[in-house]
Amino acid sequence: EELQHTVVRAGDLLFICKLINSIIMLSSCFVRVARRSAASAPAATTAARRSMAAAAAPSTAVSSSFNDGPPSVFDKIVKVTIIDPSGARRIIPAMVGQTLYAACDLNGVDLGPSSSGPPQEKVRSTTWTEPLYGEGAASGFDHVLLQGGNEGVEIAEPAHDNEKKMIEEYWDADEIFPESRLASQVEINAKMDGMVVYVPDRIVDDIP
């Protein structure tokens, strides 16, 4: 019996030694893993910071554009100065895309009657003018003089043959100038902001 107890004790001691050895090995592994994690932490932190900086850049651009505000109708409005035959000046708003006649009519500037059909043609580029076969100007009452040298006037579509014909039929030669246009045929563009328009004396149009 004593021999059996000695063998059992020896076996227990051997098991305990193996268990302690395993614990020591596991502890060594944990220490190695911890050291490797600690060594890679600065690199991971740097990478994370770079990613955050890259992600923050688009958001900054978005917030900047947001601060600029959404498009407004006022972005499409220009101011035009009207000078009547007496020399009085008046500034009116005009919407980009509408005709000068429509802008004047909406703001109480009397240019006389206007009769205009669909456009005869449309300039699409410096090399292509599309024929639209419309009637164009049918009267010449709404004669105005556009400010020379204005950028918007320079890029506006030039007068077509029918517009020139109506001006010549309704007005005397000494009343016609290179700046002469029919207000119903002039389309407002964004570069016309600040343009000056002179309105000559009205032609009598109310005689029965």
Asked if 89 and 83 count as a contact pair (C-beta separation under 8 A), the reply is yes
Say if residues 144 and 181 touch (Cβ distance below 8 Å).
Answer: yes
Instruction: Read off the pLDDT of each residue in 166-190 and give the average, rounded to a whole number.
Output: 94
Amino acid at 184: S
| CA nearest to 161, candidates 131, 191, 188 | 131
Rounded to two decimals, the pTM is: 0.62
Question: To the nearest whole percent, how much of the chain has pLDDT over 90?
Answer: 43
Q: What's the rounded Cα separation, in Å, for the pair 73 and 96? A: 10
What span, in angstroms and rounded, lies between the C-alpha atoms of 125 and 188? Answer: 18
More confident of the two residues 79 and 53: 79
pLDDT-based confidence at 64, cuts 50/70/90?
A: very low
d(CA 117, CA 163): 11
pLDDT, tens digit, for every residue of 71-120? Answer: 676 678 999 999 999 999 999 999 999 999 999 999 999 999 887 777 77
Band of pLDDT at residue 33, cut at 50, 70 and 90: low
Please, what is the average pLDDT of the chain? 78
Which amino acid is residue 182, in one-letter code? L
- CB-CB contact of 123 with 157 (8 Å): yes
Residue 3 has pLDDT above 70, yes or no: no
CA distance 48 to 56: 12
